[in-house]
Structure 1
């Protein structure tokens, strides 16, 4: 048995965490997916996060920042920061709410919708290639499993 070092954990412990840590595996997968879609959407000047944000805004009633943030699993400050470049490009507008002037709603502009129309075929083609690479049913199983994570994390894993 190797002598334990006071300034490092045992290699077996490190290996165990590296092979079992759901957070590490989810982060690695998320970064790889983000890179894949960022590269695909780059010709349109979009990131995968901006695409998802614009897609979340493509609805009849503009959402408030407060309602949109949890849907995207973001805090309000991060969402506000993410909206700034889209606002500068004229793809979204942040306005006072119609019912409550203190609330802020996010409206996708016609330019934002047009960019989504251009981006959608790229997203579909990239997703189709990814689905084919992952194999039959894997994308559905991954989505199903990932949908369970927020609820399990909220209950500490006992629910």
Structure 2
């Protein structure tokens, strides 16, 4: 490929050095690997751990309400629920007011597994916080919380 068929190196470097999406993706992958490794002894990924934690509430949430909380679409969440349901860590139950809707409920086995996994999650977080410092960690949490999804219709 000739240089006329590629972007100028300065453009590539500018995008590499300034793109928030690229930086967030790279950081998300690095974080996911760290927490996947910490949670591996429990047979959980970081996403499964987060899903189980989100379900630890008195009233089981409907998939439609849980999906946006986890920044997932309902079909992706439904797919993520299936392996955890097969393991008996959660269950899908019909909504009492809308039989077409399903709610996701953590099981006692799911709660027990969370209790076992939380110390490993805390240790992984402590290592990360010591590496980047508590000020940076808090600034990251606050900055990331400011990023809101686009409306469902995609309009900005």
With the length of structure 2 as denominator, give the TM-score of the two structures: 0.93
The answer for the alignment partner of 2:123 in structure 1 is 125
Count of aligned residue pairs for this structure pair: 152
Between 1:95-104 and 1:25-34, the stretch displaced more is 95-104
Displacement, 1:137?
1.1
The answer for the alignment partner of 1:110 in structure 2 is 108
Displacement, 1:98?
1.3
SS at match of 1:74: coil
CA distance in 1, matches of 2:37, 2:26: 17
- Does residue 30 (structure 1) correspond to residue 4 (structure 2)? The answer is no
After TM superposition, what 4+ stretches of structure 1 lie above 6 angstroms from structure 2?
none
- Does residue 11 (structure 1) correspond to residue 9 (structure 2)? The answer is yes
State how 1:78-89 maps to structure 2 within 5 Å: 78-89=76-87
* Structure 2 unpaired stretches of 5+: none
CA distance in 2, matches of 1:116, 1:99: 29
The answer for the alignment partner of 2:89 in structure 1 is 91
Partner of residue 70 from structure 1, selected from 38, 57, 68: 68
With the length of structure 1 as denominator, give the TM-score of the two structures: 0.91
Displacement, 1:96?
0.6
- Does residue 61 (structure 1) correspond to residue 59 (structure 2)? The answer is yes
Displacement, 1:13?
0.3
Between 1:131-140 and 1:59-68, the stretch displaced more is 131-140
CA RMSD of aligned residues (A): 1.4
CA distance in 2, matches of 1:138, 1:12: 29
Displacement, 1:136?
3.3
**Structure 1 residues 112-153: Cα deviation after superposition (integer angstroms, max 9, x where no partner):** 0000000111111110111011013111100000011116x6
* Structure 1 unpaired stretches of 5+: none
Displacement, 1:5?
3.0
